[in-house]
Amino acid sequence: MAVTATRETEVLEQVPRGLLIGGDWRDSSSGAVFDVEDPATGRTLRSLADATPEDGVAALDAAVAAQRDWAGTAPRERGEILRRAFELVTRRAEDFALLMTLEMGKPLAEARGEVTYGAEFLRWFSEEAVRTSGRYSVAPDGKSRLLVSKKPVGPCLLITPWNFPLAMATRKIAPAVAAGCTMVLKPANLTPLTSSLFAAVMEEAGLPAGVLNVIHTTDAGGVTGPLIKDPRLRKLSFTGSTPVGRSLLAAASDNVLRTSMELGGNAPFLVFEDADVDAAVNGAMLAKLRNMGEACTAANRFIVHESIADDFAAGLAGRMAAMTPARGTEEHSTLGPLIDAKSRNKVHDLVSAARGDGAELVTGGAPVDGAGYFYQPTVLTNVPRSSRIMREEIFGPVAPILTFATEDEAVELANDTEYGLVAYVFTRDLNRGLRMGERLDTGMMGLNAGVISNAAAPFGGVKQSGLGREGGAEGIEEYLYTQYIGIADPTAS
């Protein structure tokens, strides 16, 4: 049954309108607000306070004031707060799913999947909070003792993107909480509602005032710039585009901030001649159309062996053409809108340019008429390697296919990009799959799998796809620094 207008209003009314600073939900210091739009209809969902640079500094003031006490909080207590947050988010899964569908556009079924994924970071890091162990050892010469411990890096600025409104917040907040760091969260102004509701849940879970502060704004650079220059800030974590990430890295260098950067992707999807074509098509649908293709992990280039390329293209085109673009609250929706008109125009420009370069259109290839920012699921074949669509992140439901003849050629094509976030490989040959892990320049690889993101695994890339890791045992290390104390030999007379 489709979601009613009454139900939508009920969920939207749960979202605080203000900025969370030092435990208080407050208006912008300027009194300004901005509207959050439903990308499926273009209508305003809710208005939120529009933070100023002064509000950003106030949020950092609150984080700094709370840091010492929070760092001294028992790891078990920090873990229990995260565990309670996990239970609260799980209990309110339908609220969070609907809210994400409204502000981001993804179908409800997919939004429910994000709630499960995003909540898992809370559970995972609730368990990791008590595992930040050090070591005590005898120096090699026997004349001293070595005491090594882990300590929280301090106040952090967390900048999240619009495409996974819950999971990108929990993936950063959970390890920071577990490690004992305070935070200023700056969510994307396109999808800030979920972050605000989640912050309210963290308060309900018992997170002390000032540990998490939330500043949504339409002036991202103006608000975050002074914070990055402030010597009291000790870490910056950003998920977003590579150009913005490079700029933030340059700014962070002045104060030598700890940085985590999860940036752009140009994921190759390799299908070898021995692959199960049906399984490869199933994997391609997941790797390409998850989140309407608006994911840094989305398969961007389909590199298929020439002997099975026609079968693969036909199978993929058939599945893509059967998708139903509609508002995510509708029962029949299997594909939501893109986030805004600018994004849809970029996707169409890439498709048009590829066709101009000689690519052949198999299905789709145009915006969907009517309200919202929908784009037809699209498959292109015989795409020239030099085409822009093979170089740029598409961020839409478009699958360009090119072919290869040998394994070496496939590897060369896959590595021919400045990015290195994730790659997908389909083959029945396990040795070949393991070779791909060694030969592909990528931080992650899916072997016969179209989705590999997991809270228990380290997420991150190489080259222009960023640095640092989120999730897994590695995730909490991004929020800790190592301290060494040299101790005189206690056995010396």
In one-letter notation, the amino acid at residue 374 is F
In sequence order, the 6+-apart residues with CB closer than 8 A to the CB of 160 are 168, 169, 172, 185, 186, 187, 188, 195, 239
Of the residues 110, 120, 262, 470, only one is catalytic, namely 262
The pLDDT of residue 1 is 63
Query: 0.95 cut: is pTM over it?
Result: yes
Q: Do 51 and 19 contact (CB within 8 A), yes or no?
A: yes
Positions of the chain with pLDDT under 70: 1
Tokens standing for residue 409? 């050629």
Judge whether 23 and 210 are in contact, CB under 8 Å: yes
Active site residue 156: no
Active-site entry in 120, 296, 407, 478: 296
Determine the pLDDT at residue 340: 96
Is the Cβ–Cβ distance between 52 and 29 less than 8 Å? yes
3-state helix, strand, coil in the chain (%, to 5): 40, 20, 40
pLDDT at position 493 is 72
Per the annotation, the verdict on 13 as an active-site residue is no
Distance CA 4, CA 445 (A): 41
Which residues make Cβ contacts (< 8 Å) with residue 428, sequence separation at least 6? 274, 275, 276
CB atoms within 10 A of CB 431: 8
Query: Residue-wise over 62-93: b if at least 16 C-beta within 10 A, else e?
Result: bbbebbeebbeeeeeebbebbbbbbbbbeebb
